[in-house]
Each structure stands twice: as C-alpha cells, then as structure tokens.
Amino acid sequence: MELMKRSILALVLMSLMVAGCSNDEVVAVYDPPPQPPQGVFSITGNDSVFIYWTAPYEGDITHFEVFRSFYEFTDYELIAVVEAWPNPDLDLIYYEPGYIDDSVTNGTTYFYAVTSIDEAGQQSELSAESVFDTPRPDGRVTLYDEAVKPDSGAFDFSTASIVGSADASADVYIDRAGVVFYINVTSDVDVILQPMGFHASFDGVGWAPWAPDEGWSYNGWAEIVPGNIYVIAIRDTHGDWNYAKLRVLAEGADAVMFQWAYQEDKNNPELAPPVVGDPVCQQEQASR
C-alpha cells in the first residue's frame, strides 16, 4: 500500500514537471493603451473650427474621439467619433482636417482635445497640446475708389457692410493717387492699421499685434499691393479693441477686391490658425 502511494506521488510530480516545461504554457501579455494623437491644432473658420492631428505610430487604432470644452482643463465633452485609417505599415498619417466642428458660435472661445482608441477598446490620454479657437465671420468684399463711387468705398467690419467713407460706422476706405490704390483708416484715434506684407494664404497672418502698442504703424494709410495682408484694430467707446484683417485678392480699374475676417470677441487678436513659431501664439498657449 505504501509503495502504491509512492508510485502515485512520483507520477504526479512527473506530470507537474512536464507541464511546467511545456511550450503550450499560457503567458499573459500586457497590452498598453494607445498613445494620444500628436500635433493637434485648429484653424479658425466662420461659425466653424477645423481640427487637425497626426495619428500615433500604431497599427491597431480603430477610431479617434474629439472632445470640446469652454474651459482649458475641465469639463471636456465628447462631440465626435472619427474612424481611423488602416495603418499596417505604421506610416505617419495626417488628418487634415480630422474633424470640422460646425456647432459653434462666432465670438465664443472653445478648447479641444483628441484621444485614440485601439482594437481592445482602450483609450489614450487626452492630447497634450493646448488647442483653443474663437471662430469669427469672414467673407469677400469689393470696394471702389471713393472718387468714383463715394457710397461704396468704405467697409464696416462689425456689420460686414459697404458704406461711404463719411459714414460714422466706416472703419476703412480706399482711394487712389494716379494708378496706385491706398487703404485708409477713418479715425486716427479709434482705428489703427498695420501692413503685414505679402502672404500666399489668407491664414498666413494668424494673430494681430496687441493694440495699441505692439508694432502698430500710425500712418493711417498704406499702399494696396495684391497678396498683401493688412491688420486693423478698432476701439469702441469702452476702450475695448476688435481686430480684423484684409488680404488683397485683385485690383481693377476703379476697385479692389479683398478677403476679410473680423474677430467679434473683444480684445482677442486671434484671426486665423496658430502659426508654429509665432511668438504671440506661443505666449497665448504657454499656460498649459
């Protein structure tokens, strides 16, 4: 009987040893959560915000989730789910744009963040970049030399209206000396103008200088050059500033066509997307 017990014990021990050496042993593998999207930024639109990002170098991302808040660090709410593109080769994939938020109001500032979701349903942390945007109205307008059409040579940004240069609501107007067109402010005190040079894109100037001190010219006028951008600051009766910009699209015999944008949020110089390396943009976003 004792021998039988010993034999059974030996068989059990041998079985355990064989099982411990088996190649079929199940080993738990840790699957970390995905990395968040990188390089997240926004472009300012008219009643819209365009959100861009770069996907992480991972092959099992199924979708991204876009969040929005009225505050920088809290109260982010899910507003969109964006399907991820297949990425078996772990390429660098840009989402340009990844999402267009058209449920926004001009003049209101919004904060954005994006997360990655993998096949296991794991969610990344919120994207690290401080992304905020204040959508603003924009459009196109043709202004005439006031000597040709006195009632069609000036523009009121706050109402997006063409008016005469003598109209109390006018902010800027154009005139001509010989064949050269000029843009002029209607008040040397409450409207200031700063030429920003040639830019191939309307979004080449994203931020206006802070009024009234940072680099503003007080000539009150500037020569109109196709492709050039001009930033305008307009002070109201309470001493607050609204910012606008114009880009010259074309010149005719008696008129100039502009693309324009106007920031309705007072004392907010954001007019377009943040520009990488722009010191004003860096100053605005350094708090995060």
Per-domain residue ranges of the chain:
38-133, 138-274
Residue 288's closest CA among 72, 61, 79?
72
Report residue 49 as tokens: 């915000």
| Residue-level pLDDT at 5 | 35
List, in order, residues 6 or more apart from 214 with CB less than 8 Å away.
none
The single-letter code of the amino acid at 77 is E
| Cα 205 to Cα 230: distance, rounded to the nearest angstrom | 9
Burial of 51 (0-12, 13-18, 19+ CB in 10 A): buried
Which residues are within 8 A (CB) of 252 and not within 5 positions of it... i.e. 6 or more apart? Answer: none
**What string of pLDDT tens digits covers the 288 residues of the chain?**
433 333 334 444 444 444 444 555 666 688 899 999 999 999 888 999 999 999 999 999 999 999 999 999 999 999 999 999 999 999 999 999 999 999 999 999 999 999 999 999 999 999 999 999 999 999 999 999 989 999 999 999 999 999 999 999 999 999 999 999 999 999 878 999 999 999 999 988 988 999 887 778 888 999 999 999 999 999 999 999 999 999 999 999 999 999 999 999 999 998 854 443 443 333 333 332
C-alpha to C-alpha distance for 210 and 140, rounded to whole angstroms: 25
Whole-angstrom CA distances from 73 to 113, 128, 130, 132 are: 10, 11, 9, 11
Report d(CA 190, CA 171) in Å as an integer.
9
Q: Compute the C-alpha angle 71/76/78, nearest 5°.
A: 145
Q: Give the number of other Cβ atoms within 10 Å of residue 202's Cβ.
A: 17
**258 touches 245 (CB < 8 A):** no
Separation CA 217–CA 59 (nearest Å): 52
User: Which CATH architecture group holds 38-133?
Assistant: Sandwich (2.60)
**Contact by Cβ (8 Å): 110, 80:** no
Strands 191-198, 228-235: pairing is antiparallel
CA dist., res. 86 & res. 63, Å (int) = 10
